[in-house]
Amino acid sequence: MKHLLPISLHVNGETHHVRIPPWRTLLEVLRETLALTETKRSCQEGQCGRCTVLIDGKPINSCLYLAIEAAGKDVQTIEGLANSGVLDQIQKSFLEKGGVQCGFCTPGFVLATKSLLSENPSPSEDEIRAAMVGHLCRCTGYVQIVEAIQDAAGHLKPQG
Amino acid sequence: MSELSGERILADGGLAIGAMTTLQGLLSSPIVRKNYGVLAEAAASIGGPELRNVATVGGNIAGALPCADLPPALISLGATVGLKSSNGERFVPVEDVFIQFGKTVARPDELLTTIRLPSVSSRSGGRYFKFHDRQSMDMTTVGVSAFVTLDKTNHVFRDVKIALSGSAPVPMRAKKAEAALRGRSCTDDALEEAALAVCEEADPRTSWRASREFRFELLRSLTKRSVRSAHQKASLAIGDAP
Amino acid sequence: MLLATSSPRANNRANNMHDHLRNEYDVVGQPTPKKDGALKALGHAEYADDISMPGMLHGKLLRNPHPHARIVRIDTSRAEMLPGVRAVITGKEFPGIKYGNLPQTRDYLPLAIDTVRYIGEEVAAVAAIDEDTAEEALDLIEVEYELLPAVFDPEEAMRPGAPLLHDSAPSNICAQVAFEFGNVDEAFFSASYIREDTFDTQPVKQGMLEPHACIGLWDSTGKISLWSCKMSPYVVWRQLAMGLGVELANVRVVQTVVGGGFSGGKQEAMPMDFCAVMLSKKTRRPVKIVHTMDEVLTIGHMRHPMKVWLRTGTDKDGRILAQHCKLIANGGAYSSIGGFSMYLAGAMLNIPYRVPNIRYEGKRVYTNNGFCGALRGHTNTQICFARDSQLELIAADLSIDPIDIRHRNALQPGDVTPNGFRIGTFAFDECIERVVELSGWRNKRGKLAKYRGIGFGCGSHISGARLMGHSASAAEIRLQEDGTVHLTTGSTDVGQGADTVLSMIAAEVLGVEVDAVRFARVDSDSTPVDPGTFGSRVTFFTGNAVKRAAEDARRQLAEIAAQRMKVGADDLVFRPGEIINRRDDRQRISLKEAIRWGAFQTGRLVISHGTYSASDEKIDFRTGYGNLSPAYNPSACAVEVEVDPETGQVKIVGFWGADDSGFPLNPLGVKGQVIGATVMSFGHALYEGLIRIDGKVMNPSFRDYKMPLITDIPKLADFQHSNVVTWESEGPFGAKEAGQGAGTGVIAALANAIYDATGVRMQSLPMSPDRIRFALKEREGKKYAEKEFSPATE
């Protein structure tokens, strides 16, 4: 028990007070301590992007991020994106453009897209690819994912 | 701890970067992009946004891995690192930081705190070319960073610094290749000689990732490309903007 | 499928047929988002690793570090004493019954008992209060091994004196298939041109993002339940019962949302499944076991590395007269699907070209490596690489245009191949021409800049197979009183879109919205038995079963409505959501009302069944003769590459593909499938491969097992796919497969493009930069290494 450190994690707008060993990754704490299983474990070495969460709006691999580092920061998982089960535009675009097959990679891509579009509302195709390079998909071959991101950008772009 | 991230312009016109600056932070810095483009280029070549949002400049150096991408760019820029302990601070040129695979000169009580970049002159430019199988994300097989300064004619190499990744147990400087270019114009012959010199002084290993022979092929090609491209950049620009 | 193409004519033709068919139907033919896509995009889809049960323990597997060894002794006592450990098991915990996929291939055990045959094979398992404790316990298990000599190369394994892996297999030959049709020797004798080439391929992994995961529960009544991401839950159900020595009735397999499969471990019962239930038996708690990605990449289940020797004889116009193929597959330590893989490779040589005389000899050999089985494209991918690479070589030798040589040899609808495949719809010529148009082939081939090239590749696939064992599909439909349709089948959606397309078929027949169909995941306690998802069978076999079930439901509903409306059932027509008397359209009843009335007033529930078995035709797997599939798909593609001559790196700058998948029921889903298959083949061709040294996998991580990333595909404007629409009458609403064929011609197309760009012919996969660079160097005749420098140290 002496290994446990008390920290506050702000996840999806809610504050959680937890006591965890300092070596726990953010991924482990999200899944096991907070039972937020929408962030998945896959390669666990920062190659596939499946464990992506946004920290202060920036995408990171939670499998390589210590939970204690996240203390005091704003953590957003895919759960924080939708509003009571209503899809946000990015999620809608992924669905409508066929960007979802097995769905395992989808939340990672969606969060990365959110971060991309908040910084660059009209990304070129090359900019989309560069932003998504840390996300592996084995099902779609990426074409419909790029199309989904372009579609979302088109819908979300401020008009005028 | 706040001094460990962020950047500060130095009195001599150089730049000090905190070791905890993330790679993404580094490559979004306007000063780094404008004056030390080769460093931004090296940082941009590492992983993807998720990794770059967390990985730090200090981490890429302190790990002392031969395939790390920042050290060659830093070496070619003539950078130094600050090592701080309760006894004070010392500065070591990056090219002297690596003792062996995975080990730097930092003593157990020292913290790598800053990276110092010297001021750059106009008529200088740098490029970092690295090879990997896929178009992104891969560990570097071999990388060559070239930073050149031209003379008043804008053709002849006044100074050249070439550094390599994946070519020896530690990131290394290719001094023979530099010597082959100093005082010369950027001709095909000069580039070929430099490439051959790099292959003489590099000592890449054969691993299941890539054979020694293939690394030599890559070194030869990337040396010529990075030097030629750095020369072009230097002749066009003032400072090392990308 | 509507595309912005460079050819309005091609686009027009595609659109006309498609539009004509689409306009006939309300649901099928429309691009439809995946039914469970919203759940997945929200992050609410529950995969196996997300499931938690009260009191659940966590399991880990101990893996053997030797390529071949006898287990002398296992001492688990120290592990058992570690605080937090609740149970430790070894192979002796199980009845010692071997199980497998085919009757002839039963060589799997839940945990090794006497012998381990590859590095990574499972020897013990631990259940503990958490994963960290379970991991720590693994280190405390002492195993004494007696090392045995090992063999890794299949040709060495077949030599006299080689270490034997299985007593049942002298010369380590797991399976041998040979067949011959026509008069091969005579045909070669009469051939005006003959060519022989050898090709070899590497071990390739499925690469799905979701690692294998399961939860096992053996409750106090003796009921054994397994929750897992299985593509073929009933195969797992039977294998579990067999390996545990229990009755099928005591076993329940529940399919969780599958995060990608591509065959492999998700197709069968794995050691983790057996261990999870056995550990549960011992602890009386649910036990979850999840593989790490490095376990996934170390264990068996991968594509067979193959050495393919192909001899082809043609007439002077390049028409194939005879082919002789000898194939050696490195099968690894266990059988997996054994001889079936060898049969399939040879069978696939018979399509998409006419090969009037054919001889095939395939051997699957045991070696001390991870074992191999099915993986998207299953042997066909390797065969097409060899055959379509060679075809362009033949074309070049005979100065025949590479497109013409394909047309000259193309199978036609109505053909019967020498091995008995009866070709129905097969728009191969159209696929070829569609690709020629889309890619701008005629303006590019031979006209591109140096080190830029374009290559063509063709392939084909089956729409499900008539198997010896379980071949047929069944579906059940219940109409609910709120007008929704409850659809159950035994086939699984693994991301490919089966949930959507099967629902679309039911919705079309019943005149409801797709959203009104509830597609259930498989639960062996309640869904119909089924072979599962593999071999591109689901849309075709299960789709037909669903269509028949829906038609029967409609018939039952018509009877109920007729009774209610007091008219003849034949007088009724179905319109979306309602049933109308054709003689007096004021007499109408909604679907909901009809269902409710039937249930409430007459006790008649609408429950229907449908089955499909592709007829009673049998394949003689001994001779190789028989019509394996009810339908076949041709595919063609062209790929443009830029090769960096100094580094050998290949950049794919353009890809154009066309397939005949019959009538694409869900064009959005079909697009995802064909492009997904294509990009997997990019990886197989250029970057992927398990690197094994003395049986040890050196790159069991996504960092070093390199799969294509988003930056490895061409720009969207240069990455196009077109459906050549046909109507396959045997398929549900004219459909055929769309998940595997599209990837089969891609590797040859890349090899041919690299040849076009550089003059270097790659016959070994992967076509990695170092291999290309050195092949180029050799071709240019430079000897750099020897004379120009001396290395610093050695």
Q: A59 and A120: one domain?
A: no
Q: C550 and C642: one domain?
A: no
3 state DSSP class of C428: helix
* Interchain CB contact of B50 with A (< 8 Å): yes
- Asked whether residue C614 carries a pLDDT value surpassing 80, the answer given is yes
3 state DSSP class of C351: coil
Q: Tell me the pLDDT band of C467, cut-offs 50, 70 and 90.
A: confident
Q: C264 and C314: one domain?
A: no
Domain boundary among C290, C324, C348: C290
Q: A74 and A95: one domain?
A: no
- Asked whether residue C470 carries a pLDDT value surpassing 90, the answer given is no
Interface of A with B in 74-133 (CB under 8 A): 112, 115, 130-133
pLDDT of C788 reads 41
Q: A71 and A30: one domain?
A: yes
Q: Do C41 and A106 touch (CB under 8 A)?
A: yes
Q: C476 and C573: one domain?
A: yes
Q: Count of A–C CB contacts within 8 Å?
A: 179
Q: C489 and C594: one domain?
A: yes
Q: Tell me the pLDDT band of C622, cut-offs 50, 70 and 90.
A: confident
Q: A96 and A35: one domain?
A: no
Interface of A with C in 98-117 (CB under 8 A): 98, 100-107, 110
Of A91, A94, A142, the CB nearest to C713: A142
pLDDT single digits (tens) C411-431:
999 999 999 999 999 999 999
Q: A71 and A125: one domain?
A: no
Mean pLDDT of C56-79: 98
Mean pLDDT of C441-466: 96
CA–CA separation, C419 and C358 (whole Å): 9
Phi, psi of C16 (to 5 degrees): -60, -55
Strands (DSSP E) found in C256-356:
287-290, 306-314, 320-332
Of B134, B203, B214, the CB nearest to C770: B214
C586 within some domain = yes
Query: In chain A, what residues touch C33 (CB-CB under 8 Å)?
Result: 95-96, 98, 100
DSSP C646-682: TT--EEEEEEEEEE--BS-S-HHHHHHHHHHHHHHHH
C143 within some domain = yes
Q: Which domain holds residue A120?
A: 89-156
Substitution target in A47, A48, A110 with the highest count of B β-carbons within 10 Å is: A47
pLDDT single digits (tens) A31-60:
999 999 999 999 999 999 999 999 999 999
pLDDT of B3 reads 66
pLDDT single digits (tens) B123-152:
999 999 999 889 889 989 999 999 999 998
pLDDT single digits (tens) A10-37:
999 999 999 999 999 999 999 999 999 9
CB C493 within 8 A of CB C736: no
Domain count, chain C: 3
Longest dimension (CA), chain A: 58
pLDDT single digits (tens) A83-127:
777 899 999 999 999 999 999 999 999 999 999 999 999 999 999
Q: C284 and C309: one domain?
A: no
What is the distance in angstroms between the Cα of A6 and the nearest Cα belonging to chain C?
21
Interface of C with A in 488-517 (CB under 8 A): 494-497
Residue type at C277 in one-letter notation: V
Q: A9 and A76: one domain?
A: yes
CATH code for the domain of A31: 3.10.20.30
Which residues of chain B approach chain C closer than 8 Å at the C-beta? 131, 133-139, 196, 199-203, 208-214, 216-218, 220-222
C424 within some domain = yes
- Asked whether residue B108 carries a pLDDT value surpassing 60, the answer given is yes
Q: C527 and C409: one domain?
A: no
pLDDT single digits (tens) C157-171:
999 999 999 999 999
Q: HEC states along chain B?
A: CHHHCCEEECCCCCEEEECCCEHHHHHCCHHHHHHCHHHHHHHHCCCCHHHHCCCEHHHHHHCCCCCCCHHHHHHHHCCEEEEEECCEEEEEEHHHCEEECCEECCCCCCEEEEEEECCCCCCEEEEEEEECCCCCCCCCCEEEEEEEEECCCCCCEEEEEEEEECCCCCCEECHHHHHHHCCCCCCHHHHHHHHHHHHHHCCCCCCCCCCHHHHHHHHHHHHHHHHHHHHHHHHHCCCCCC
Q: A110 and A134: one domain?
A: yes
DSSP C772-793: HHHHHHHHHT--HHHHS---S-
C575 within some domain = yes
Q: A10 and A70: one domain?
A: yes
Query: Hunting for tokens 């610093």 — which residue is that?
Result: C792
CA–CA separation, C124 and C753 (whole Å): 49
Of B133, B202, B208, the CB nearest to C769: B133
Domain boundary among A57, A80, A103: A80
DSSP C472: -
What is the distance in angstroms between the Cα of B185 and the nearest Cα belonging to chain A?
35
Domain boundary among A50, A80, A110: A80
pLDDT of C604 reads 94
Q: A23 and A69: one domain?
A: yes
The b-or-e profile of C461-489 (16+ CB within 10 A means b, else e) is: bbbbbbbeeebbbbbbbbbbeebbbebbb
Mean pLDDT of C350-378: 97
Of A61, A64, A133, the CB nearest to B137: A133
* Interchain CB contact of A70 with C (< 8 Å): no
Q: Do B220 and C784 touch (CB under 8 A)?
A: yes
Phi, psi of C764 (to 5 degrees): -130, 135
Which residues of chain C approach chain B closer than 8 Å at the C-beta? 646-649, 651, 686-687, 691, 693, 698-699, 703-704, 706, 708-709, 711-712, 768-770, 773-774, 777, 784-785, 788-793
Query: Residues C166, C168, C170, CA angle at the centre, nearest 5°?
Result: 80
pLDDT single digits (tens) B186-237:
999 999 999 999 999 999 999 999 999 999 999 999 999 999 999 999 998 6
Query: Hunting for tokens 């810095």 — which residue is that?
Result: B29
Cβ-based neighbour number of residue C107 at 10 Å? 21
CA–CA separation, B207 and A27 (whole Å): 33
Substitution target in A47, A90, A101 with the highest count of C β-carbons within 10 Å is: A101
* Interchain CB contact of B24 with A (< 8 Å): yes
Of B196, B203, B217, the CB nearest to C788: B196
Query: In chain C, what residues touch A129 (CB-CB under 8 Å)?
Result: 710-711
Substitution target in A38, A102, A125, A150 with the highest count of C β-carbons within 10 Å is: A102
Q: A102 and A55: one domain?
A: no
Listed range (C88-97, C116-125, C613-622) with the worst mean pLDDT:
C613-622
Mean pLDDT of C767-790: 76
Query: In chain C, what residues touch B209 (CB-CB under 8 Å)?
Result: 704
Q: Tell me the pLDDT band of C104, cut-offs 50, 70 and 90.
A: confident
C639 within some domain = yes
CB B164 within 8 A of CB B143: yes
Q: Do B137 and A132 touch (CB under 8 A)?
A: no
CATH code for the domain of A97: 1.10.150.120
Q: C269 and C354: one domain?
A: no
pLDDT of C302 reads 96
Q: What is the mean pLDDT of chain C?
A: 94
C204 within some domain = no
Domain boundary among A16, A48, A80: A80
CATH code for the domain of C562: 3.30.365.10
Q: C117 and C227: one domain?
A: yes
Q: Tell me the pLDDT band of C13, cut-offs 50, 70 and 90.
A: low
Q: Tell me the pLDDT band of B239, cut-offs 50, 70 and 90.
A: very low
Q: Do A140 and C675 touch (CB under 8 A)?
A: yes
List, in order, residues 6 or more apart from A125 with CB less than 8 Å away: A146, A150, C715, C716
Q: A26 and A68: one domain?
A: yes
Query: In chain C, what residues touch B208 (CB-CB under 8 Å)?
Result: 691, 693, 698-699
Q: Which domain holds residue C589?
A: 472-612
pLDDT of C242 reads 97
> Could you tell me which of C310, C222, C37 has the C-alpha nearest to residue A92?
C37
C353 within some domain = yes
List, in order, residues 6 or more apart from A86 with CB less than 8 Å away: none
Q: Do B48 and A65 touch (CB under 8 A)?
A: no
Domain boundary among C592, C612, C632: C612
Q: Which helix (H) or strand (E) holds C584?
A: none
Q: C479 and C596: one domain?
A: yes
> Could you tell me which of C380, C383, C405 has the C-alpha nearest to residue C392?
C405
More confident residue, B239 or C548: C548
Q: Do C702 and A133 touch (CB under 8 A)?
A: no
Query: In chain C, what residues touch A48 (CB-CB under 8 Å)?
Result: 209, 293, 702
- Asked whether residue C3 carries a pLDDT value surpassing 90, the answer given is no
- Asked whether residue C14 carries a pLDDT value surpassing 70, the answer given is no
Residue type at C642 in one-letter notation: E
Query: Hunting for tokens 């560069």 — which residue is that?
Result: A130
Q: Do B53 and A135 touch (CB under 8 A)?
A: no
CA–CA separation, C553 and A88 (whole Å): 37
CA–CA separation, C573 and C569 (whole Å): 9
* Chain B residue with the nearest C-alpha to that of A54: B50
Mean pLDDT of C645-662: 97
pLDDT of C790 reads 38
pLDDT single digits (tens) B38-47:
999 999 999 9
What is the distance in angstroms between the Cα of C777 and the nearest Cα belonging to chain B?
10
pLDDT of A85 reads 76
Q: Residues of chain B with pLDDT > 70: what percent?
A: 96
Contact partners of B by the rule of 3+ C-beta pairs under 8 A? A, C
Phi, psi of C745 (to 5 degrees): -90, -5
CA–CA separation, C320 and C406 (whole Å): 10
* Interchain CB contact of A52 with B (< 8 Å): yes
CA–CA separation, A142 and C662 (whole Å): 24
* Interchain CB contact of A61 with B (< 8 Å): yes
CA–CA separation, A115 and C480 (whole Å): 43
Domain count, chain A: 2
pLDDT of B5 reads 84
Q: Do B131 and C647 touch (CB under 8 A)?
A: yes
Of C648, C777, C792, the CB nearest to B201: C792
Q: Tell me the pLDDT band of C787, cut-offs 50, 70 and 90.
A: very low
Q: C393 and C451: one domain?
A: yes
Q: Do B214 and C687 touch (CB under 8 A)?
A: no
Q: C413 and C546: one domain?
A: no
* Interchain CB contact of C208 with A (< 8 Å): yes
Q: How far is CA B207 from CA A107, B167, C362, C693, C766, in A?
A: 36, 12, 34, 11, 17
Strands (DSSP E) found in C346-418:
357-366
Interface of C with A in 659-718 (CB under 8 A): 668-669, 671-672, 675-680, 701-703, 707-711, 713, 715-716
What is the distance in angstroms between the Cα of A71 and the nearest Cα belonging to chain C?
23
- Asked whether residue C365 carries a pLDDT value surpassing 90, the answer given is yes
Q: C338 and C378: one domain?
A: yes
Of A52, A115, A134, the CB nearest to B47: A134
What is the distance in angstroms between the Cα of A134 and the nearest Cα belonging to chain B?
5
- Write down all domains in chain B, each with its CATH number in brackets: 2-117 (3.30.465.10), 124-236 (3.30.390.50)
pLDDT of C15 reads 61
3 state DSSP class of C246: coil
* Chain B residue with the nearest C-alpha to that of C787: B196
CA–CA separation, C649 and C642 (whole Å): 8
* Chain C residue with the nearest C-alpha to that of A96: C33
Query: In chain A, what residues touch C36 (CB-CB under 8 Å)?
Result: 103
* Interchain CB contact of C2 with A (< 8 Å): no
Q: Which helix (H) or strand (E) holds C685?
A: helix C667-686
